[in-house]
Homo-oligomer: A and B are copies of this chain.
């Protein structure tokens, strides 16, 4: 993409309404725009990051055996009356009526709807296990939306729902998602720690939140330093191997880790002081096992091996890709702007033409651009006639992993300067070696 043909509305001023750094940087970098309280548009740069995050989420859901569907945003109130949550949910639920005055709502989550899908089609235990997920917009009418997409009202959520014949299989389904989440967050460049969590309005008795440590986190968290050294399973993990899955989950749940609301002072005091990590954290995922809480009242049953009808055991598993972007920025930024992990960067490389109109600069930049594309890299070429300071500030702000700076003198000499965003390291290279270095 050439900057002259792109829409990248950089803000020079720091927006006053933004209280946290991710919100400030997403506004300044032209990634998002607030349309109403807690409701945002993703501008081109933000949309690119959202796509990258969703792709990682999707790949790891698929790898674990979950199947992608897409449920609508608008749901019938009747479904929620069946589970009893229509009255329970309170004012966070956006309720509405259509032209025929039917009660509808904008889904804050999809347990009821997916249970309805399940009971419409699945009859036998032989069709289990089943895990259906979707990535769809949700709405929760927060009293005081804030922190940008970190706590928006309309937000994107990946929610998965598992269906199993009994508690033990359901536990394996839970473990599959647990492992898929570890992989997902790691691929997004985050270190996320699973912590026992309260189940809240979803219900059930087993639940973990995945928490990213960040000084700007919304809640206090307490965990053992051992987590920092634990290995995340590789791509070769076998999601059919129940023992392997359980071993991983055991390793990741044995050291002490709890959010504020589940914190146990006695257990915490048993952790040696120099192993204690008391910090602030951001929730980036939340998984639940809630047994037959929805299947029983909603009649989602299957015929078991013995011919009897039994309600299925369910779990649900959520990641908010829009919130995840904010968490990544909270965890990875500096004074100059965002520092994207490679996997979610909106472009792989920024090429900076220091003097558009200069024949050497233009030729060198065009050649680098074409070579990047040919090598499968996605470059952003700053071909605009602006001051050097503004060019560098923009590149640092939008946080692409590498910048390739091409000035008239360098171009004449057949050289470019590389700047690595995370470290600030610089290298001068012959133009012909640049793309090989970038692909390394």
A113 and B35: CB pair below 8 A? Answer: yes
Taking a contact as CB atoms under 8 Å apart, the answer to whether B106 and A7 are in contact is no
Bound CA span A69–B30, Å: 11
What 0/1 pattern do residues 200 to 238 of A give for CB contact below 8 A with B? 000000000000000000000000000000000000000
Q: Does A308 contact B (CB under 8 A)?
A: no
Determine how close the nearest CB of chain B comes to the CB of A207; give it in whole angstroms.
25
Query: Are B154 and A36 touching (Cβ within 8 A)?
Result: no
Query: Which one of B46, B50, B72, B98 lies within 8 Å of A41 (CB-CB)?
Result: B72
Which residues does chain B contribute within 8 Å of A6, judged by CB atoms? 67
Residues A130 and B7 in contact in the complex (CB < 8 Å), given A41-B113, A117-B41 = yes
A94 contacts which of B35, B98, B153, B154 (Cβ < 8 Å)?
B98
Interface flags, A43-72, vs B, CB<8A=1, else 0: 110110010000000000000010111111
The reply to whether B70 and A47 contact each other, CB–CB distance below 8 Å, is: yes
B72 touches A44 (CB 8 A): no
A75 CB within 8 Å of chain B: yes
What chain B residues lie within 8 Å of A122 (beta carbons)? 9
Q: How many of these chains are in the complex?
A: 2
Contacts of A116 in B (CB 8 A): 35
Q: Given the complex of chains A and B, what is the CA–CA distance between A5 and B126 in angstroms?
A: 10
- A70 to B41 Cα, complex, angstroms: 6
Verify if A330 is at the interface (C-beta below 8 Å from B). no
Which listed residue (B39, B47, B71, B75) contacts A69, Cβ 8 A? B47
Min CB distance A240 to B, Å, is 10
Query: Would A33 and B120 count as touching, CB distance under 8 A?
Result: yes
Mark the stretch among A136-144, A262-270, A296-304, A411-419 that contacts chain B: A136-144
State A411–B88 Cα separation when bound (angstroms). Answer: 59
Known A74-B154, A154-B74; judge A69-B40 contact (CB<8 A): no
A132 at interface (Cβ–Cβ under 8 A)? yes
Please, what's the 1-or-0 string for A122-163, where 1 marks a CB less than 8 Å from any CB in chain B?
100000001010100101010100000000011000000000
Known: A33-B120, A41-B117, A44-B67. A72 touches B7 (CB 8 A): no
Q: Which 10 A-B pairs have the closest CB atoms?
A: A9-B121, A96-B96, A42-B70, A91-B99, A36-B76, A41-B71, A44-B67, A72-B154, A39-B72, A99-B141
9 A-B residue pairs with CB within 8 Å = A7-B69, A33-B117, A35-B72, A36-B104, A41-B70, A41-B72, A41-B113, A74-B106, A74-B153
- A residues adjacent to B (C-beta < 8 A): 5-7, 9, 30, 33, 35-36, 39-44, 46-47, 50, 65, 67-76, 91, 94, 96, 98-99, 102, 104, 106, 113, 116-117, 120-122, 130, 132, 134, 137, 139, 141, 143, 153-154
